[in-house]
Amino acid sequence: MPRGRYSLHDPHDHTLLAEEHFQCAPGPSGWRYVSQRTTPSGDHSGSVDLALDELGRPIRLELHAAGWQVRAAALDGVTWVRTDPTGAHATEGNVRAHAFTGTSPAFLVATARLLRLTPSSSATRVRLVAFTDPVLAPRTVDQSWALVEREAHPTDNAPLMVDEYQVTALDTGERHTVHLSGDVVLSAPGIELEHLASPPSVFD
């Protein structure tokens, strides 16, 4: 069960925004990721609880940030309920999309798990609902994912398989690179793996 800490930065000026303390693991029904987020000063600022089924679909997502809460799942596309800090005004949403995304590294693992690309695959288009910081506002985004390379890196134990993805935002054409090993993000724009207490889980 990998557990560790990511630091989250502004991808443009590299300002430290938060730290995300996480643990994740595959299970009988798929994969689950839970985390607590803190500000640079150490104050609690949010949480993520994401569960995928064996096909990589989000069967449960719960986000908390700045008093806002989102509960969501893959249902008739994707469906969510977003609640304001007072709890008085809950809004529902539904979009014909494949899954969710946001600033948590969990979403990169989840999208890669959903697409199951191979190095010989062509780029695959995916529609996601992004919950944007700091108030978890929903926004539909289209991306293209391609698995550029899969490489074994030697370690003291077994070789570490690292996948390099090229992710393109289809509305702007902006491209970036994501490196994953199993269910851990090794590097991505705005994300740095600061500590990992145990090796990544290997998906079947």
Q: What angle do CA 133, 110, 203 make, to 5 degrees?
A: 150
Q: Residue 123: which domain range? A: 3-198
User: How far is the CA of 94 from the CAs of 129, 130, 153, in angstroms?
Assistant: 9, 13, 41
The pLDDT value given to residue 62: 97
Amino acid, single-letter form, for residue 165: Y
Q: What angle do CA 148, 150, 154 make, to 5 degrees?
A: 145
For residue 204, what pLDDT band results from cuts at 50, 70 and 90? low
Whether pLDDT at 107 is above 90: yes
128 occurs within a structural domain? yes
For residue 159, what pLDDT band results from cuts at 50, 70 and 90? confident
92 occurs within a structural domain? yes
204 occurs within a structural domain? no
Split into its structural domains, the chain has a count of 1
Mean pLDDT of the chain: 94
34 occurs within a structural domain? yes
For residue 138, what pLDDT band results from cuts at 50, 70 and 90? very high
The pLDDT value given to residue 121: 87
The pLDDT value given to residue 178: 98
128-155: average pLDDT = 94
203 occurs within a structural domain? no
135-150: average pLDDT = 96
* Structure-token pair, residue 42: 């150490």
CA distance 183 to 192: 14
29 occurs within a structural domain? yes
Q: What percent of the chain has pLDDT over 70?
A: 100
32-53 pLDDT, tens digit per residue, is: 999 999 999 999 999 999 999 9
The pLDDT value given to residue 164: 97
CA distance 20 to 43: 12
151 occurs within a structural domain? yes
The pLDDT value given to residue 85: 87
140-159: average pLDDT = 90
48 occurs within a structural domain? yes
